């Protein structure tokens, strides 16, 4: 009878946590080489993959062997590599692809920002501003190539969340919805596709929604979706039945969030709903990505944070709203439904 495998000692487990960035960098290199897409048609030899990716065969093998040990790719008995459940989302040609997100996480700006975590923890200041001297969104407005990488990553992430949101929440009760800071419009398009009688307004900064009209036309929704440029710290489009924000509140400190909420409150009809899709930090010591994402907000934003349910309730109250429902989805996002007080 084989003995039960022993759990690694605490020192080894701590080492594995500390070297997590080894895995992260290996994943990002594999994403940049687009290995998973090359394996879409079936297993390939490392020699063939090296030729297609213009890399060194032996060192590419070492990269893929390391990732296979974490379940990302599979080394078969004949030495060929194949996709697995974990590597399949790295393909660039599948719905819900995570490749764009991994490319963004491997950008120099992201890596240098994480190097400044100690500065952020010590001072409370955003690491990005410490390194680059400006807010992340301002930086993106002046660096269009990096903005494209960021936008692609956010669109990629949205595809994982959008379907879960429209499955969990009934938007058919509304006639009109404004997607506040909705980027290129992937979420709003999903809402409109699922609710054919609904009309939408996509609202965001001019440089952010550049190309949104073309994207909406490609989705076949130009006749039901208006694109409006503006600044939500100044005003938002008036008069809709629902105001929707996804992944926006966590970017800002309480004072600026309240300003956004007040601007929505001031133009909403009495019976309108405010719908906010965010992660909600759970209580206790359990592992949750929201707790790591909270560190990312510390680094990248001026006071942004992931919030607990109690913090959301207090924030909405300060903005003139009452949180009436929390709707779980099949993703890590919660839909927080609010009404005017």
Look at residues 202, 206, 270 and name the one whose alpha carbon lies nearest to residue 236. Answer: 202
The H-assigned helical ranges of the chain are: 10-18, 20-33, 35-38, 46-53, 57-68, 99-105, 108-114, 117-123, 127-132, 136-142, 144-168, 186-194, 212-218, 254-267, 289-300, 309-318
Q: Residue 158 class from Cβ within 10 Å (0-12 exposed, 13-18 middle, 19+ buried)?
A: buried
Contact 208, 144 (CB under 8 A): no
| Residues with Cβ within 8 Å of residue 209, at least 6 apart in sequence | 182, 183, 184, 185, 202, 203, 227, 229
Question: What's the token pair of residue 172?
Answer: 């058919």
Residue in 56, 135, 143, 250 annotated catalytic? 250
47-75 burial: b if 16+ Cβ within 10 Å, else e: eebbeebebeeeebbebbeebbeeebbbb
Residue 203, strand partner residues: 180, 228
Contact 152, 107 (CB under 8 A): no
Contact 147, 140 (CB under 8 A): yes
Question: What's the token pair of residue 267?
Answer: 């133009």
Q: Number of C-alpha atoms within 13 angstroms, CB side, residue 333?
A: 26
Look up 250 and say whether it is catalytic.
Answer: yes
Q: Which residues are catalytic?
A: 250
């Amino acid at each position: 009878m084989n003995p039960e495998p022993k759990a690694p000692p605490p020192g080894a487990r701590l080492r594995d946590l500390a070297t997590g960035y080894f895995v992260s960098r290996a994943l990002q290199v594999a994403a940049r080489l687009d290995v998973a897409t090359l394996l879409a048609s079936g297993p390939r030899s490392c020699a063939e993959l090296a030729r297609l990716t213009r890399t060194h065969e032996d060192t590419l093998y070492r990269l893929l062997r390391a990732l296979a040990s974490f379940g990302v790719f599979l080394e078969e008995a004949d030495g060929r590599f194949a996709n697995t459940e974990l590597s399949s989302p790295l393909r660039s040609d599948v719905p819900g692809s995570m490749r764009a997100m991994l490319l963004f996480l491997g950008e120099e700006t992201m890596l240098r920002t994480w190097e400044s975590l100690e500065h952020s923890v010590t001072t409370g200041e955003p690491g990005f501003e410490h390194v680059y001297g400006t807010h992340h969104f301002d930086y993106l407005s002046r660096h269009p190539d990096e903005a494209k990488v960021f936008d692609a990553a956010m669109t990629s992430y949205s595809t994982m969340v959008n379907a879960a949101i429209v499955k969990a929440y009934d938007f058919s009760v509304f006639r009109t919805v404004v997607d506040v800071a909705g980027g290129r419009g992937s979420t709003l398009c999903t809402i409109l596709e699922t609710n054919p009688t609904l009309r939408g307004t996509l609202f965001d900064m001019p440089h952010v929604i550049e190309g949104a009209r073309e994207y909406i036309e490609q989705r076949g929704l130009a006749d039901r979706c208006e694109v409006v440029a503006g600044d939500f710290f100044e005003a938002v489009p008036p008069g809709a039945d629902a105001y929707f924000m996804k992944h926006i509140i966590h970017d800002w400190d309480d004072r600026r969030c309240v300003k956004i909420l007040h601007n929505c409150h001031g133009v909403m009809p009495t019976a309108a709903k405010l719908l906010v899709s965010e992660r909600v930090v759970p209580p206790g010591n359990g592992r949750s990505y929201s707790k790591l994402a909270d560190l990312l907000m510390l680094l990248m934003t001026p006071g942004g944070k992931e919030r607990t349910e109690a913090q959301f309730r207090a924030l909405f109250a300060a903005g003139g709203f009452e949180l009436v429902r929390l709707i779980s989805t099949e993703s890590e996002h919660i839909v927080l439904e609010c009404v005017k007080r």
